[in-house]
Amino acid sequence: MPDRTNRIGRHLPTSGGLKKTLATIETLGCETVQIFVSNPQGWADPTLRADAEDFASGTVEAGIWPVVVHAKYLINLASPDPDHRERSARTLARELVAAGEVGAHLVVVHSGSHGGEGEGVGMDRLVEGLDLARELAAGYAGASGRVAEPVVENSVGAGTQLCSTFDTLAEVARRAGARACVDTCHAHAAGYDLSTPESAKAVGEELRGKMGDSVALIHLNDAKNGMGSHRDGHRRIGEGEIPRESLPGFFAALAGIPVVMETPYGTPDVDLDQMRLVKELAGGLPLAPNGV
């Protein structure tokens, strides 16, 4: 009898309406899901969607947990530009509130870049920015109190990017009183070897040992580029630099942590095959959306 404990889902589009997103969740057998609540490439604040309540109630009824939002890519809480830092904090705050309106639990935000002013300075600013964003979000939400939790994502370590190591990600999480999202593609590109079953299990154990319960989410992506390349680029599971044989041991070391794929979309059959594959690699198919 399979004993899978990791809830499996993927990032889904919302351009056809959140009702369509709910239908896709059901079709694919998602147990968790990630969406955007605004244009990730622009600064415009998210607006309340007419179907927000339907999506919130629909995901509850389907037992989808956690519901995840990915924040805008423009946000850099560690920027050397004070105006950019302030705008980033306010934008993240608006996203935390918009995420709460659609029933989301988590908002993934990139760790950002120190822009040449040093990792220590950048980490200080990232921690301060997370604190400010949560404070602002509480004010924006008002009486509703519906604010999602920000979680910080690891980077590939390109240039002046922060939190490419588990040590620095753990430090930011501890100092900010926050949790983290760990992306497998980013980790591999940053130098964590996921290319063999033995090394991938060791990476999972290292992550669990250094971060414990502060890992809120895994972004499961195969890597276009090699270990230590410091270059991002997602591939479908089993189609890049991380063999599918590496994943069972990695999952075993990270039991219970929900998993969201951000892999390229294919046909509906390809997307369904990817979902089934990851469930099998994580221990088997039967974990139902309504509970472990």
pLDDT digits (tens, 9 = 90+) for 32-87: 999 999 999 999 999 989 999 999 999 999 999 999 999 999 999 999 999 999 99
> For residue range 95-133, what is the model confidence (pLDDT) as tens digits?
999 999 999 999 999 999 999 999 999 999 999 999 999
CATH (residue range 8-28+38-281) = 3.20.20.150
- Which residue(s) pair with 183 in the sheet? 219
pLDDT at 1: 45
Residue-level pLDDT at 288 = 60
- Of 67, 175, 177, give the one whose Cα is nearest residue 120: 175
**pTM for the complete prediction?**
0.96
- What value does the mean pLDDT of the chain take? 96
In the chain, domain spans: 8-28+38-281
